[in-house]
Structure 1
Amino acid sequence: MSTFHGLETARRAINTQQSAIHTTGHNIANANTAGYSRQRVNFTQTEAFPSPGFNQPHMAGQVGTGVKAGEIERIRESFLDLQYRQENNKHGYWSARHTAFEKIEDIMNEPTEDGIAQTMDRFWQSLQDLSVYPEDSGARSVVRQNGIALAETFNYTASALESVQRDYQNQLGVENSRVNSLLEQINNVNKQIASVEPHGYLTNDLYDVRDKLVDELSEYVNISVEQVSSGGLAKENAGGRYTIKLLDHNGSDMGVTLVNGRSLEATKFDLSYDEETGLIDGVLVGNETFDPDAFHSYGKLKGSIETFGYMSGGEERGLIPEMVQSLDQMVYTFTEAFNDVHENGRSLYEMANEEAAISFFDFAGGANEVKGAAKGIKVADDILNDLDKIAAATVTAGEAFSGDGSNALALANVKDNTLNFGGTTTNVQSFYQGVIGAMAVSTNEAERMSRNTNELRESVDDRRQSVSGVSLDEEMTNLIKFQHAYNAAARNMTTIDEMLDRIINGMGVVGR
């Protein structure tokens, strides 16, 4: 054994402890860096002396030769990453739906003094007042103004919903671009990792960058992550390249590879829109095209598609389109029934003049169809120009009297008439209450699921941080530990140096 063996052992100890101190400093520096995973130096004993062989020296046993820094690896548990991404995906979907329902609720504004329900109630009440004072111009004016207010409330609600829908179209463009950007960034990090790992290094910081991108991607679509070896001299615990596949809400493979870790290629998302309705009619992922109704990869993107609206079997679907359809159906059916009663009555103007039946409500542009009814409803020009054209009287035996208000009462009772709202038979108030009630139930469900998934996500993230996060107390303890080991190794080297000094300078001088 070499006389200088002790110096080499001490040198290795100093270098290794120094590496550990540097790594601890790196951890401390990144204590507040989002997505950072703490790192550690794996200490490995160096090969003992002598090595087995025919020419090995005869010794009592093998002597240790010190320590070396085997590798610097990050502390990460992949199972917790998988759990986090699953919960993050669910939270992305339900939070998107909850946000959408909140925006719709703000527009519907129920129950409040300015909502549709209260505006309709004031309209019915003014008609009942007119039935008592059919010749009073003030009562007629109130009916007209309440009719205008009701029409404008419907107009505003429909227009506001369309405005939110346009905002969601812009948001979908942003989300689509963000998903494509994330896929491209992940692929670029894959390329960087693939150029380093074959040389035997662990690219810990690149792993963290990639995992952070994958975490964000999981919020938009459901994904699976598969590790592909970089080959060459890559270590067994190397992270490798990521192959990312698209999954449906049940976790089944949808047959689309978003990022290919072998070929180092990334695909792209795109959305196609129906020319007539402007709603989404296809989700394009690479070379695959999915019908929006069949695109079952839950996440924020799916939630935004369902909010904005999509075509399915030739029909308009989605939160906002279906709410607009309900309003249109309500307004159209109510207007038809109300105008029918009004046209069968007799106004003061009709009593004095030969006049065809007069409608109370009309639609902008004269379009008499369900689609667009809520946005287009208005008080007819005849009523706007002449209060005497409000038909408050009923024709009995071909005669009508100015003091008769029975038709005004019949108009007020339209609210209780059983009507057919596109297959749903009920009165106008019950139909509207059903629409609002269904929205409230869906909002509560979305809020509950958003809250639950967020709590589960945070719980998993807390466990993940307990494994991967930097604890300053722990790092300071390690720093002290490695510092003492470094100092001890340096002291050991000093001791060996003194021994060598005695051998070299103190021996062989006797008798001089």
Structure 2
Amino acid sequence: MGSTFGGLNTALTSLYAQRRGLDVTGQNIANANTEGYTRQRVVMQSQNANLVPGIYATTSAVGSGVTVSSVERLRNTALDQRSFTEHANSAYHNERAGSYNLIEDVFGEPSDTALQSRMQDMWDGFNAVAANPDKAAPKSALIEQATTVAASLNDAAAALDSQYESTRAGLDTYYKDVNKAADSIAKLNKEIVVAQAAGLQANELQDQRGQQMLKLSELVGATATELPNGAINVYVGSGPLVSEFSTREIEIETGGAMRLDDLNSTTVNLRWKDTEAPVAAGGTMGAQMELLAKGGTLDTINTRLNEIANKLADNVNDKYRTGYSSDGTTGEDFFGTYNGDLTLTAANIGVKVSDPNKLAISSGNPKGTPAILNGEVADDLSELSTSRTGADSAYQSLIGDLGVSAQSSIRRRDIQNAVTDQVDGARDAESGVNLDEEMTNLLTYQRGYEAASRVLTTIDSMLDQLINRTGLVGR
């Protein structure tokens, strides 16, 4: 049969177990607002008095108390994997939508000061000159209006190039962050494996690793698989980034395009450092690669803007060359490059006429015989605003396509963020700290500790009676 002294051990194990429960509950409460923290739960297990039952080695004792078998980390692996995927998608769509918003800001349509309005002012200026071919004021106004159009194209091209450069600089920072996070995960893998092999809890280390993994998923669309020993392998696309305790680095190929104009001769390549194979990036870096690539978003819009500048220059110059200025000059161009480059683009288009008297708007020579001064060429130029193949039409098509793409990216971003919020909500419901629940647990362990103390006090009283008072009756 069980010994009276055995009850002391039973009560003592309960004190230890309830105190451990209080410690874990206090840890949960302390980290209620810690980002990435996963709540923990004490798992208690009753101890059998017959640890190795046998025929001739038995006891009638009901048990030998309680022990804490483990401290569980209440994490759902499936929800974690889903969270990594959804956060990667959200980061991708957020970056993409943000890029389109910046591009729309470049053009600022519709607006009285945007390019479309300024081109219309220029066509109206040609019309005013056609009505008053002998007046200097309309000619001066026209030159100024045309200069404003060219400056708007210059500014738009410069803004697109500036967005390219800033995104490219961000990509240089992000790939280094990816390598650092991968190194952190490999180190945490080793610490977790060693801890678990020694029978120790590694819950806080796993939380730290989860935060690094979430960062990687947002940066580059990384995914993870868990190994039996507690480590994880991390993949970008189908390529391994972390394999237990070792890592691979990613890099941007040296000599990659730093400006939009560089895409004519090179491009941006994100690759594995060891094999030089391309990295199938997702997340923020995936969206940036789409933006920076040759034939990507910025390159496509810049190309179309250059086409608009060339159409404007070609259409105007073709008619303008047939005209005569007040001093009889003819065959000159109205638009050209302000920096002397042979290839005209939106970045270098300029107005070549600065003297109103040099404006060739007459169909005849004012210095000829007979002298002819009219505004027929200017009138023909003003009608280019309605051309279906002109610069206005091409620009309207660009703005329309940009608007559709921007709205589509915003809708997809909003939908994806809603999905991500739902997944995060489900994960937090399971792994997040609920202070009401923890306060209940706190009271539960407190009462358990008090009850175990009472048992210990009762047994102590019984032993005192047995040892100090038994056999003293009648003395």
Task: Say whether residues 1:289 and 2:276 are aligned partners.
Answer: yes
1:387 to 2:353 alignment = no
List aligned pairs for 1:434-445, cutoff 5 A. Answer: 434-445=397-408
Query: Residue 305 in 1 paired to residue 289 in 2?
Result: yes
**Amino acid of the structure 1 residue aligned with 2:276:** T
Identity within the alignment, %: 29
Structure 2 distance, partners of 1:50, 1:288, is 57
Deviation at 1:229, TM superposition (A): 3.1
The within-5 A match list for 1:409-488 is 409-418=379-388, 426-488=389-451
**Which residue number in structure 1 is paired with residue 308 of structure 2?**
330
Whether the 8 Å contact between 2:40 and 2:74 is mirrored in structure 1 is yes
Q: 2:351 is matched by which residue type in structure 1? A: V
**TM-score, length-scaled by structure 1:** 0.87
Query: Under a length normalisation based on structure 2, what TM-score does the superposition of the two structures give?
Result: 0.94
Any runs of at least 4 consecutive aligned residues in structure 1 with deviations exceeding 4 A, and if so which? 398-402
Structure 1 gap segments, 5+ residues each:
231-239, 248-253, 311-315, 419-425
> Following superposition of structure 1 onto structure 2, how do residues 313-324 of structure 1 map, counting pairs within 5 Å?
316-324=294-302
Higher strand share: 1
Any idea what SS the aligned residue of 2:381 has? helix
From 371, 374, 384, the equivalent of 1:404 is 374
Are 1:416 and 1:428, in contact at CA under 8 Å, matched by a contact in 2?
no
> 2:38 — aligned with what?
37
Map of 2:325 onto structure 1:
347
Decide which moves more: 24-33 or 268-277: 268-277
Cα distance in 2, alignment partners of residues 483 and 453 from structure 1: 45
More displaced, 143-152 or 174-183? 174-183
CA distance in 2, matches of 1:497, 1:70: 28
Query: Partner of 1:277 in structure 2?
Result: 262
Question: 2:179–2:249: 8 Å Cα contact kept in structure 1?
Answer: yes
1:50–1:62 contact (8 Å) kept in structure 2: no
Q: Deviations over 1:266-312 (max 9, x none)?
A: 11111124468266342212434345xxx5432110111222x22xx
- After superposition, what is the alpha-carbon deviation per residue over 1:287-345, rounded to whole angstroms, capped at 9, x for unaligned? 34345xxx5432110111222x22xxxxx322212111111111012201211111111
Aligned partner of 1:160 in structure 2 is 159
CA deviation profile, 1:119-154 (whole Å, cap 9, x unmatched)? 000000010011000110001011111011111111
Q: Residue 257 of structure 1 aligns to which amino acid in structure 2?
A: P
1:184-225 CA-partner distances (Å, limit 9, x unpaired): 111121121122111012200001010111111111223331
Distance in 2 separating the partners of 1:21 and 1:406: 94
Q: Following the alignment from structure 2 to structure 1, what is the Cα–Cα distance between the partners of residues 256 and 199?
A: 52
CA distance, structure 1, for counterparts of residue 61 and residue 371 of structure 2: 124
- Asked whether the 8 Å contact 1:50–1:56 carries over to 2, the reply is no
Matched to 2:242, the amino acid is V
**Contact 1:282-1:290 within 8 A present in 2 as well:** no
Per the TM alignment, residue 402 of structure 1 is displaced from its structure 2 partner at its CA by 4.7
The 5 A counterparts of 1:250-261 are 254=238, 256-261=239-244
CA RMSD between the two structures: 1.9
Give 1:349 shift.
Answer: 1.5
Please name the residue that 2:212 is paired with. 213
**Which moved further from structure 2: 43-52 or 96-105?**
43-52
1:60-108 CA-partner distances (Å, limit 9, x unpaired):
x551211111111211111111111111111111111111011111111
* Aligned 8 A contact 1:242 1:260 in 2: yes
Question: Partner of 1:71: helix, strand, or coil?
Answer: strand
- Asked if 2 retains the 8 angstrom alpha-carbon contact of 1:49 and 1:63, the reply is no
Partner of 1:266: 247
